[in-house]
Amino acid sequence: MSESASTDDKKLVLPPEIGERLRVGLPDVAEQTVIALIAEVPGYAEALSGTMRTNMERGVEMALGGFIRLAEKAGGAEPLQPVLDGAYELGRGEARDGRTMDDLLAAYRVGARVSWREFSSVMVNGGLSAGVVAGFAELVFAYIVELSAASVAGHEDERATTGRVKEIYLDRLGRRLIERAPAEDLVEAAERAGWEPASTLAAVLVPEADARKALARLDSRTLSLPGGIVEDDELAILLVPDVDGDRREPMMKALSGTNAIVGPTRPWTDVAVSLERALRIRELDIAETGEVVDTEEHLATLLISSDRAALADLRTRALAPLADLRPAAAGKLELTLRSWLLHQGRRDDVAADLFIHPQTVRYRMTQIRELFGDRLLEPESVRDLVIALAPGSSESPAR
């Protein structure tokens, strides 16, 4: 309804005495409208009493009062924009209060029906002809349509703004978590973002291209940080809540095909530890294309790679008896000794592990015993040999 709509036909100027009767009855109309809203629209069911009901009745009175003023002033002297501004703010408020667009539009439909029922009764009793009453009916519903459109715009804008603000706060929370902010700061950041703290979080590194797909399969509370946070524009960070214990395996399956690296679960305020673990595994470059890497399965690799220089020194000392052999011969004995230690001397198991004949195992172990002597009986020497020969401690020797 434009401001001139009420002046297109002079017959539709509301007589002052009718306008006054309508104005006097506004409190009753507002009350009946709110009663109908409570009964018919789920989003307003809690407004049986209290501040919410009072505010709703006041809002209905203001909206209908605006129509009466417009209808009384044929020359358009009463501007419509302030009424539309009020409807816009109403829509924003309804969005903030958690009511849906459907609730909002349903409220306008109910309001239009109840208010026109009362208005038409006053107009007919006031002697207005049926044609004039019908004309005012069109104006009332046109007015309601404009108000509802303004409220819908406010509702949409508030939802969009709230969504953007929430995303900003969630992003800020994720960054504070990986920056090891103090626990009290993290709690405050979580409250500001409206994020209910999980018991634990696990950090997941995933290519940026796979992040959206991964998020769609994970808990909706998962925090997401874009590429560039860890000096890699193509690597996103996901902080996944409560996937410890039996819940870890379903998460691993959900991430299949995403080239993800999954850190350990930690109390949510300590998830930076999980991220560091995942980053260390990534540096080792042990993942196959399309494979999801669980850091929990590579703890020994992490340990032996934590100080490469110390590991190299340990290998030199522990494997000194092999130093004078040709590299190929030394490599075969290393591989045999490692398998022999891991299989606790079971010759057939060693042969099956290395795909060689048991007699070959016997021959090689004779050489090893001659070279190492009593070291193979000393617990500390055996410990050093197991570490020195662990997978990843050096290039794998030939069989």
Domain boundaries, the chain: 5-162, 198-304, 308-388
| pLDDT bucket at 289, cuts 50 / 70 / 90 | low
What was the pLDDT predicted at 290? Answer: 64
* CA–CA dist 230, 204 (Å, integer): 12
232 vs 93, more confident: 93
Please compute the mean of the pLDDT values over residues 179-185 and round it to a whole number: 94
User: Please, what is the average pLDDT of the chain?
Assistant: 85
What was the pLDDT predicted at 224? Answer: 92
Amino acid at 384: D
- Second-level CATH architecture of 308-388: Orthogonal Bundle (1.10)
Which CATH number applies to 198-304?
3.30.70
Residues 33 and 60 sit within 8 Å (Cβ to Cβ) = yes
Please compute the mean of the pLDDT values over residues 123-136 and round it to a whole number: 85
Is it the case that residue 159 has pLDDT exceeding 60?
yes
| pLDDT bucket at 399, cuts 50 / 70 / 90 | very low
Is it the case that residue 349 has pLDDT exceeding 90?
yes
Q: Under CATH, what is the fold of the domain 5-162? A: Globin-like (1.10.490)
Percent residues over pLDDT 90 in the chain: 36
What was the pLDDT predicted at 44? Answer: 83
287 vs 198, more confident: 198
183 vs 58, more confident: 183
Query: CB 117: neighbour CB atoms within 10 A?
Result: 12
Please compute the mean of the pLDDT values over residues 40-50 and round it to a whole number: 77
Please compute the mean of the pLDDT values over residues 151-174 and round it to a whole number: 86
323 vs 83, more confident: 323
What was the pLDDT predicted at 129? Answer: 83
Residues 6 or more apart in contact with residue 312 via CB below 8 angstroms: none
What was the pLDDT predicted at 299? Answer: 84
What was the pLDDT predicted at 393? Answer: 65
Please compute the mean of the pLDDT values over residues 303-313 and round it to a whole number: 81
Residues 53 and 35 sit within 8 Å (Cβ to Cβ) = no
Most confidently modeled of 73-77, 104-108, 133-137, 321-325? 321-325
- CA neighbor of 320 nearest in space, from 247, 375, 363, 380: 375
* CA–CA dist 285, 295 (Å, integer): 12
Pairing of strands 293-294, 261-267: parallel
Amino acid at 97: D
Q: What angle do CA 95, 96, 98 make, to 5 degrees?
A: 65
What was the pLDDT predicted at 397? Answer: 44
Percent residues over pLDDT 70 in the chain: 91
| pLDDT bucket at 4, cuts 50 / 70 / 90 | very low
> Which residue has 């001397």 as its token pair?
345
Convert the pLDDT of each residue in 60-102 to its tens digit.
888 888 888 887 775 444 567 888 888 888 888 888 888 888 8
Is it the case that residue 398 has pLDDT exceeding 80?
no
User: What beta strand segments (E) does the chain contain?
Assistant: 200-207, 223-225, 235-241, 261-267, 293-294
| pLDDT bucket at 5, cuts 50 / 70 / 90 | very low
Q: Is 394 helix (H, G, I), strand (E, B) or coil?
A: coil
Amino acid at 243: V
Please compute the mean of the pLDDT values over residues 270-298 and round it to a whole number: 85
Lowest mean pLDDT among 43-47, 166-170, 330-334, 338-342: 43-47
138 vs 332, more confident: 332
Is it the case that residue 3 has pLDDT exceeding 60?
no
75 vs 219, more confident: 219
365 vs 286, more confident: 365
What was the pLDDT predicted at 334? Answer: 93
The predicted model scores a pTM of 0.55
Please compute the mean of the pLDDT values over residues 223-244 and round it to a whole number: 85
